[in-house]
Structure 1
Amino acid sequence: MEEVHTKYSNEELLKSLPNFTSNYAEVNNTKLHYVKGGKGEPLILIPGYPETWWSYHKIMPTLAEKYCIIVVEMRGMGSSDKPLFGYDKKNMAKDIYELILQLGYEKVYIAGHDIGAHIAFSFASNFTQATSKLILLDTPHPDTGMYQLPMLPILGASYIYPWWLAFNQVEDIPEQLLEGRMEILIEWLYKKLLINYNSVSDFDKAVYAYAYNSKDAIRASNAWYQAFPIDIEDSKNYKKIAMPVLGIGGSGYEMLKISLESTTTDYKLHKIYECGHFILAEKPQQTVNIIMQFLGETKNQ
């Protein structure tokens, strides 16, 4: 996405985060955009749908007091390239791996929310030697359980029927329907998936709509979902993750719990109460405190 100077551009957004810079890197045959700041051991942060690097803005300054923060917009997101192919999470993890090598790091902490959690998990599974600790925010990696999701809402059920997982599987139609109208979908998702609706401001939503409104952006972000069958097959070959893993869940706590019990050997799990899916927006202080405590722990603690 070519940078255009508007109040939603990276240049303008970074004025509220003066110690961070906007950067680009050519990796794995695509160009990634990332925001970097702070000093210390590297911590990779990967956003999810329907957001951008801006989703971490409430916790970036605190984390940057002790760590070098690198918030990566995955391929297909924000100012990163939107190629036609390569959206399976194993390949997107390779994007991140080539980026950290280019930045001169051998090992990193890595965290992800939503689709970003899929990539972080895949990174830890495929590049174990480069992963110090893994943090999953409200979302596990895709697994065969996805095939059991109901095709229709269940009468009287308290959960939100995730129709967009199926809608985003469809090629061509979503971008025809949503080009220039993504604010409608973004508004609906926040209204349904937040407990405290006001934790995401109108400005935040406008930032995300600006990033997702083009046909290319809708096509590319849907490609993250269209790769789920490949991601599920890849996950069948992953060994249990042995490095320290942290799961932080709001509405996704139970799914995280089920997943971590079967995919990791050394995990901690925290539930954030009265919180929906977007824990970075709703409970930033609680989330960052849990992350800082986890990263500060040593093997013999």
Structure 2
Amino acid sequence: MPPNGIQTPTPGGILEDSGTGESLDSRLAASLDGSFSSEYAEVNGVRLHYVTGGRGTPLVLLPGWPETWWEYRKVMPALAAHHRVMAVDFRGMGGSDKPASGFEKKTMAADIRELARHLGHDRINIAGHGIGAMIAFAYANNHPEATEKVAILNTTHIDNSYYDFPMVPRPGDKGPHRWWLAFNQVNDLPEQLLEGRYRHLIDYMFDLSLVNPDAITPYDRDVYARAYSSAEAIRASKAWFQAYQRDIEDFNAYAPVTAPMLGLAYGTFYDYMREALPAQGTDVRVVEIENTRNYLVEEQPEAVARELLSFFA
């Protein structure tokens, strides 16, 4: 393993059926340095999948879309040297249940609270990216007694500004235009278009938001495509977006987070986060991660791990 603790797994043909009945997630977890294991827990009415390893203070990692717990593969060994790491497929994602309801971020935060309680942790550190960042923020706001520190990666909690995103670019406006927010509000059609073909959307999203497209390899993209390509998975992932109106209502009622909060972002979104996040917490620090865009955990794992280790120390 490299001295900085950052790992780029090379699990070879792990996507192939092993013939032993062992799940893909179990084999992926075993491919990481540091004795990680794939586990399940029944909490808050859903069965959640998570990958855990390491020793020390508890640290929950929540992924973004269109990823799974595998998003954190490069940083988990470094973090596990100091923390009990739990990378969670939240409600609707990957190996976790895909129920018909409960996709409000406040409810999904309650899932994580019950998972932590189930594992014997009264207070946790929590970090999230994308949808996971919204859940992490909701966790810190709704469960302050159970929050040590919270890290928000590249996505602040959804707010009223989402209602104003333009769908049609003005002349000279290069975007990107977040058409996928509207697309995921549509009933039935995304399943018809994407079932068995989700890899196309995954490639589009990654290539749009990576400085170095090779940071997420074809193998990694296949892992994600396998997790999202079923009609059930597409329906559940859409539900994270279809809950946005309720999420905005919840956000408008939130008080500032009292736990120490770290924001990590790039470029123009770093500028936005530096302005927005201090109003959403009482103890906020914002750090720019350079040479990346949205998928900073996978593209700049050394910088992300360094900032998380420093913050959660």
Fold shared per TM-score above 0.5: yes
Q: How far apart, in 1, do the equivalents of 2:261 and 2:202 lie?
A: 30
1:61-100 correspondence runs (5 A): 61-100=77-116
Q: Distance in 2 between matches of 1:174 and 1:244?
A: 39
* 1:118-197 alignment runs, 5 A limit: 118-197=134-213
Post-superposition offset of 1:5: 6.8
Amino acid at match of 2:97: D
Provide the secondary structure at the position in 2 that maps to 1:132: strand
Q: CA deviation at 1:56?
A: 0.1
Aligned amino acid, residue 196 of structure 2 = G
Deviation of 1:155 (Å): 2.7
Q: Which residue of 1 aligns with 2:32?
A: 17
Residue of structure 2 in register with 1:6 after alignment: 17
Deviation, 1:242, is 1.6
* 1:294 corresponds to: 311
Structure 1 residue matching 2:101: 3-state secondary structure: coil
Amino acid at match of 1:44: V
Question: What is residue 279 of structure 1 aligned with on the other side?
Answer: 296
1:236 counterpart SS class: helix
Matches within 5 A, 1:91-110: 91-110=107-126
| Cα distance per residue 1:94-137 (max 9 Å; x no partner) | 00001111111110000000000000000000001000001001
Is residue 2:288 matched to residue 1:242? Answer: no
Aligned residues: 293
Q: Is the 8 A contact 2:104 2:247 kept in 1?
A: yes
What is the correspondence of 1:192-211 to structure 2 with a 5 Å cutoff? Answer: 192-211=208-227
- Contact conserved, 1:53 with 1:73, CA < 8 A, in 2? yes
Tell me the residue number matched to 2:128.
112
In the alignment, which of 228, 231, 255 is matched to residue 247 of structure 2?
Answer: 231
Structure 2 unaligned spans of 5+ = 1-14
TM-score (norm 1): 0.94
Q: CA RMSD in A?
A: 1.4
Matched residue, 1:42: 58
CA distance in 2, matches of 1:203, 1:113: 21
Structure 1 residue ranges (4+ consecutive) displaced by more than 3 angstroms after TM superposition: 4-8
The answer to whether the Cα contact below 8 Å between 2:30 and 2:37 also exists between their aligned partners in 1 is: no
Q: Over residues 190-221 of structure 1, what are the superposed CA-to-partner deviations in whole Å (9 max), with x where a residue is unaligned?
A: 11111111111000000000000000000000
Gaps of 5+ in 1: 297-301
Residues 1:228 and 1:258: Cα distance change in structure 2 (over 3 Å): farther
Distance in 1 between the 2:227 and 2:102 partners? 20
Equivalence for 1:299: none
CA distance in 2 between counterparts of 1:40 and 1:60 reads 13
* 1:258 corresponds to 2:275: yes
Q: Percent identical across equivalent pairs?
A: 44
CA offsets 1:32-62 (integer angstroms, 9 cap, x no match): 0000100000000000100000000000000
For residue 295 of structure 1, report the CA deviation from its aligned partner: 1.3
In 1, Cα distance between the equivalents of 2:16 and 2:108? 28
Comparing 60-69 with 5-14, greater Cα deviation is found at 5-14
Cα distance in 1 for residues equivalent to 2:84 and 2:247? 29
Letter paired with 1:157: D
Q: Distance in 2 between matches of 1:293 and 1:90?
A: 28
Deviations 1:203-255 (A, max 9, x none): 00000000000000000001000001100000111111121100000253233
**TM-score, with structure 2 as normaliser:** 0.91
In structure 2, the residue corresponding to 1:286 is in which secondary structure?
A: helix
- Structure 2 SS opposite 1:76: coil
Is 1:270 matched with 2:287?
Answer: yes
Taking the aligned partners of 1:76 and 1:194, their CA distance within structure 2 comes to 25
String of CA shifts for 1:166-209, please: whole Å, max 9, x gaps: 10011111111100000000001111111111111000000000
CA distance in 1, matches of 2:42, 2:29: 22
